[in-house]
Structure 1
Amino acid sequence: MEQPAAIDAARLEGIAAFVQGAEKLKDTLRSGITSQGRAESTAEHSWRLCLMAMLFDRELGEIDRLKLLRLCIVHDLGEAISGDVPATLQVEGDGRAVQERADLVTLCAPLPDDLREEMVALWDEYSAAASPEAILAKGFDKLETMLQHLVGKNPPGFDYRFNLDYGAKHTARHPLLRQLRGLVDLETQKRVTATP
């Protein structure tokens, strides 16, 4: 097997600098609580989102799996700069998407042009749910958050009813998402009934 040529030094340094900047996602906390009672990080959320996408491989039909995973990995990278807005505080049209995209562009600044353009294009595709893969990534993202609400060691008074409306338009766009949503809604109803 022929060995590829050595990577250009500037390209190598740019990629390494970006990876170091993305490391901040490990410390970017979300409102979701783990089963042990600590705040989850955006990196942990993104990891479990990718795991979900991978585990449903057989049910995805003609979907481009690599593209789906790339979208899942890229979708919250901008949060490395300005952090996460809790799902319970998100309002459509609140400017969050504009800020997150701007943060992603800043984070991607060290990358070579081709990679920077690819990362931003993936984020744009995800944000607009502009492809079958992006529809799935966005739906899985909402469902991962809802699943975390169900497994998390949440504080007293946590409103599980939130799950019943959260991400409804995104989880309705694919049969697999709708089916998984049905399971999550059923478990949410059990929590709502059990919570005083």
Structure 2
Amino acid sequence: MSDQTRRLTAIIAFLQAAAALKDTLRSGRTACGRQESTAEHSWRLCLMIMACERDLPGYDLAQLLKLAIVHDLGEAIHGDTPATEQHQDPDRAERERRDMSTLCAPLPEDVRADMLALWEDYAQARSPEARLVKGFDKLETMLQHLAGRNALDFDYAFNLTYGAAQTSQHAVLRDIRAIVDGETKDRILSQPS
């Protein structure tokens, strides 16, 4: 087997394992009421960033998209922790770090190092791009709360405080946040008592 074939075989093994993200369900609901997958969340996060590209001068779009794609990859192993429960899971960050490392293990060393560096950048919010993606991640979750067909007792007020620190990092994030907060308040007022 050639070096190139071994390399591509390793990449395919990683991709097959990462496909579990398609079946990793989140607590968010789609417009028709089914649980969304983590892969769907990551896809729309990328779409959101692309749609805002012209409003983000000075940011590296390729880096933003790479960060968005890898940010939840580790969830392919142990699943997602709902946003409402993340503060109750003190081991989540370390578990996700281990899971990301396990998921990337089959990759060629250079690709594995790149993937893990991206994930770590996001997890630690080291770069301006990582901090921006963290804000967009929170906003995508909030938008899904508004778009989903949720239970009648869904706590929309959660949106009003969720991710406040991350969504204050850039003017575009703050502007989107203001729109989402307005829609959230309207939804709260329209909920049956």
Q: Distance in 2 between matches of 1:102 and 1:56?
A: 32
Structure 2 counterpart of 1:142: 138
> How far has the Cα of 1:10 moved from its partner?
1.2
State the shift of 1:97 in Å.
Answer: 1.0
Pairwise CA RMSD of aligned residues? 1.2
Partner SS, residue 119 of structure 1 = helix
Identify which of 5, 9, 16 aligns with 1:13: 9
Which of 164, 169, 175 is residue 165 of structure 2 equivalent to? 169
Report how far residue 8 of structure 1 moved. 0.9
Structure 2, gaps ≥5 residues long: none
Q: CA deviation at 1:172?
A: 0.5
User: Could you say what secondary structure the match of 1:110 adopts?
Assistant: coil
Q: How many residues align?
A: 191
Alpha-carbon deviation of 1:193? 1.1
Bigger helix fraction? 2
Q: Percent identity between the aligned chains? A: 59
Q: CA deviation at 1:132?
A: 1.2
**How far 1:104 sits from its partner (Å)?**
0.5
The 1:37/1:93 distance shift into structure 2, 3 A limit, reads closer
Distance 1:192 1:93 in 2: 27
Between the aligned partners of 2:179 and 2:96, the Cα distance in structure 1 is 31
1:145-160 correspondence runs (5 A) = 145-160=141-156
Q: 1-side partners of 2:174 and 2:95: how far apart?
A: 30
Cα shift at 1:92 = 7.2
TM-score, normalising length: structure 1: 0.95
List structure 1 segments (4+ residues) > 4 angstroms apart after TM superposition.
Answer: none
